[in-house]
Structure 1
Amino acid sequence: MEFREFGDRRSVQRPNLEAVDLEEHPGLFKGFVDLATVVVAGGDHRGIQSEGKIAYASLTDVGLSETHIQPLQLADVAMVHCDLSNARWHDVEMARAELDGCRAVGMDLEGKFDDLYAVDTRFDLMSLQRKRGRAWTVFERCSFKDAVLGGSFDQVIFRDCDLSGAEFEATSARGADVRGSRLDGVRGLMTLRGATLDADQAREVAEQLAAEAGFVVAP
């Protein structure tokens, strides 16, 4: 087992793809999907409707924009440069999944995520509803401009992300960490009680927090 470490005993388990032999597969995502131990490279599956599970899989440059998938189980899956724009994925269960350089603008995502790591991925304008999981979720250098982010943010790290204009509707945020991320125009900060900010961020959002708490901020 390999882990990505984020300090203070926080880590994300990586997909276990080295222990299995992966075979090339055309990636048929329509209808009931049951993919395991596969490598899928390329292919445009825009707008399909399906359900199922994907395990021990490497997906690269796969087009899944505007897809409707419900329910979906992802376990030990790495997605690189995939297009998930405007996709609607509900009742999702992810475990040991990675997204690297993907495009998920306008995605509607709802589910439970354990050991999820996303890096350099665009989630602008997305709608996220996260159920409480048992392991960490980490977003690194991701963009969430004008996104709506709801549900449990316990054990979620936003590292060096752009959260400009995002709206939080968090039900809990124990252990959440947004240090190093951009918070311009973020709404719903009061719902992130328990999250860790750095000192510069605290000064930056002080006026917004005061307004959300009901204070009148006079010039």
Structure 2
Amino acid sequence: MATEQRTRPPKIDSLALSGLDDFDADVLAAFETIEFGRFTDVELDSADLSGITLTDCELTTVALEDVEWGGSRIFDTALTAVNAPRMSLPRAFVRNVRIAGSRIGAFDLFEGKVRSLVISDSKLGLVNLRGSDVRDVVFRDCLIDELDLSEATVARMSFENCRVASLEVLHAALSDVDLRGLDIDTIRHPDGLRGATIDSDQVVRFAAHFAAHLGVRVE
């Protein structure tokens, strides 16, 4: 008898930050390497942080305006109360990161690499993971306007008490992507949902949507 396959949950690494030194925001600069730093009440405007590496850092109450993080590497780091019209992290590597209590207009992580990311209690306009390699991500108590997983490879992603207005999955490669805790208004290119998990209520809700995508007339 075949064993029933269950959706595998994300594997989230533990994060315990200790022994941190208080740093001023002026040490944050392109291609710098910063370890064991604590940053509080950070305000950055039109800053270039391209290629920066943050390891075992804590950033609390962060205001960002037109800050570029392209190619950055952020490891074992917590960001709390981030307020940013846009966080631009194209081609970044994010590993074991927590983002909490934040408001981010556009979170651009396209063509990047993500491992063990938790975003909680946050409001996000666009979460752009287009073309990224993503594993082990949890969204918890988040409101998202648009989640773009186009052409992304995503393994073990889950949602807890979240809502998204538009989910884009064009040419996505999904495995163990658990959408049962996500209230979805619109799904774009639903054929990209292969490998995702939904519940029976979601099946009923999107029956007409799926039928229209397949060219099936419901009378």
Fold shared per TM-score above 0.5: yes
Q: Distance in 2 between matches of 1:67 and 1:211?
A: 41
Structure 2 equivalent of residue 73 of structure 1: 73
- What whole-Å deviation, never above 9, does each CA across 1:75-100 have from its counterpart, x for those lacking one? 11001111232222111111111001
How far is the alpha carbon of 1:131 from its aligned partner? 2.5
Aligned pairs (5 A) from 1:1-219: 10-18=10-18, 21-28=19-26, 29-51=28-50, 52-110=52-110, 111-129=112-130, 131-133=132-134, 135-150=135-150, 151-213=152-214, 215-219=215-219
Change (3 A) 1:197 1:9: closer
Decide which moves more: 35-44 or 84-93: 84-93
Q: Distance in 2 between matches of 1:8 and 1:186?
A: 23
- Count, aligned residues: 209
How far is the alpha carbon of 1:136 from its aligned partner? 1.0
Q: Distance in 2 between matches of 1:117 and 1:68?
A: 21
Q: Distance in 2 between matches of 1:65 and 1:128?
A: 21
> What is the TM-score when the length of structure 2 is the normalising length?
0.86
Q: In 2, are the aligned partners of 1:153 and 1:176 still within 8 Å (CA)?
A: yes
Q: Distance in 2 between matches of 1:100 and 1:12?
A: 15
Q: Distance in 2 between matches of 1:78 and 1:27?
A: 16
* SS of match in other structure, 2:59: strand
Q: In 1, are the aligned partners of 2:102 and 2:121 still within 8 Å (CA)?
A: yes
> What is the TM-score when the length of structure 1 is the normalising length?
0.86
Q: Distance in 1 between matches of 2:171 and 2:25?
A: 35
- What whole-Å deviation, never above 9, does each CA across 1:151-181 have from its counterpart, x for those lacking one? 1222111222111223233521111001021
**Letter in structure 2 aligned against 1:17:** L
Q: In 2, are the aligned partners of 1:80 and 1:100 still within 8 Å (CA)?
A: yes
**Identical-pair percentage:** 21
* SS of match in other structure, 1:202: helix
Q: Distance in 2 between matches of 1:186 and 1:198?
A: 15
* SS of match in other structure, 2:45: coil
Q: Distance in 1 between matches of 2:146 and 2:94?
A: 24
Q: Aligned-pair RMSD on alpha carbons?
A: 2.0
Higher relative contact order (CA 8 A, sep 6+): 2
**Letter in structure 1 aligned against 2:196:** A
Q: Distance in 2 between matches of 1:26 and 1:130?
A: 34
**Letter in structure 1 aligned against 2:13:** Q
Structure ranking higher in strand proportion:
2
Q: Distance in 1 between matches of 2:204 and 2:65?
A: 39
After the TM superposition, list the runs of 4 or more consecutive aligned residues in structure 1 that deviate by more than 6 angstroms. Answer: none
Q: Distance in 1 between matches of 2:127 and 2:13?
A: 25
Change (3 A) 1:170 1:139: farther
Change (3 A) 1:153 1:16: same
